[in-house]
Amino acid sequence: MKHLLPSSAKAHATVMRHEMVLANQLEHAADLAVWLEQKQEIADIRRSLYLDEVRGRATEVVERAERVAQIKREEKLYMAYRLEANQEAAEANREDALEATKQRARAVSERCELVLSAQKMKKEALAHSIEAKLEAAEAQRQAILESRRSSGASTPRDRLQVVEASSQMKALDLAAKIEQAQEAAEAKRLEVLSETKKKAASVIKRHRNVVAAQKANDENARSHLAQKLESRLTVASERREALARTRRFSNSRTPTKNSPLAASPLKPIKFTIPVNETDENSKENGYFVNFSGKGGMNGKANGVVASPERKNVLSPSKNVGAQERANGHVIRAA
């Protein structure tokens, strides 16, 4: 009986150690469950914060897109107003140029009329002077004839014929000069009129060319503006579609296939329990608790090293006794 008492005490101590280890394991499992729950709550909070941040960014993007669309609409209206103002200014310039051309043509026509009237007055004055000279010559001839007739001198017939022939020659010469002057005046009038017509035609042609160039520039500006507005509307529609996709993503509570939450799932938590050196008593018993520190004498006597810094971390000893291996009481924690 005496030799059985130490074995019974040793078995009782082993049972007590096992109960203590199991209690430590249960406490460690409870703390681990609490820790996992806290980690899950933290993950949920991070997920909700991320979703709130995504919604906030999507809201900012939508607001910025709306502001940009408003600015684009105002710019479009301003460009349309400016184009209309430019068209009105061009139309006013065309009307002013046409009015100026008409005034210049009217001034040229008035000058031509003045020149023609002056030439007509000169021609009439020349005709009157020629007629007066002819009348004076005829009166002088009649006076000479009367004086000769009154003096009683006989006037030979041939002398009279010579005088009449000379008078006729002078009249014909004057008539030829008058006709030449009329022809020269008519030629000058026609030349001035043709020159005036040429100038008016060149002015009208230049004005038409200017009007055609302005119309072409207006058409080019209108087509360029239409292309620019069309491209901007296309870009705006693409941005609206992208914003709509972002808004659909932000409104959905569950992550979609292409969402960043689905691309980065929560990774499993791994626990590693290091094995440190302990005293000889715990090595013999095969069990110790690793708290990154040495325990007191009670812990050494019971084969358990305790420290208040960390709790509930179990690890098997490197040297496990044959009794514990046989009973299957080796605790392995990963």
Give me the percent of the chain exceeding a pLDDT of 70: 66
Residue among 171, 162, 163 nearest 134 (CA) = 171
315 SS3 class: strand
The pLDDT value given to residue 41: 92
Mean pLDDT of 43-64: 89
Mean pLDDT of 68-75: 87
The whole-chain average pLDDT of the chain stands at 72
Q: Is residue 130 within 8 Å of 178, Cβ to Cβ?
A: yes
CA distance 207 to 202: 8
Band (216; pLDDT cuts 50, 70, 90): confident
The pLDDT value given to residue 159: 65
Q: Compute the radius of gyration of the chain from its Cα atoms.
A: 64
Please list, in sequence order, all residues whose beta carbon lies within 8 angstroms of the beta carbon of residue 145, skipping any fewer than 6 positions away.
155, 160
Residue 227 identity: Q
The pLDDT value given to residue 152: 54
Tokens 């040229």 locate to: 108
- Of the listed ranges 41-45, 122-126, 147-151, 191-195, the one predicted with least confidence: 147-151
CA distance 164 to 7: 193
Residue 94 identity: R
The pLDDT value given to residue 296: 44
Residue among 23, 24, 17, 28 nearest 284 (CA) = 17
The pLDDT value given to residue 155: 55
The pLDDT value given to residue 160: 67
CA distance 155 to 265: 151
CA distance 331 to 306: 17
The pLDDT value given to residue 32: 92
Give me the percent of the chain exceeding a pLDDT of 90: 8
- Of the listed ranges 98-102, 199-203, 249-253, 297-301, the one predicted with least confidence: 297-301
Tokens 């991070």 locate to: 46
* pLDDT(167) > 50: yes
Highest mean pLDDT among 6-15, 20-29, 77-86, 252-261: 20-29
pLDDT tens digit sequence for 109-125 = 788 788 888 878 887 88
Cut 0.75: pTM above it: no
The pLDDT value given to residue 148: 65
The pLDDT value given to residue 161: 61
pLDDT tens digit sequence for 251-284 = 654 445 554 444 444 444 444 444 444 444 444 4
The pLDDT value given to residue 331: 44
Cα distances (Å, whole numbers) of residue 197 to 141, 191, 193, 194, 284: 50, 10, 6, 5, 133
Highest mean pLDDT among 157-171, 216-230, 267-281: 216-230
Mean pLDDT of 154-178: 69
CA distance 159 to 166: 10
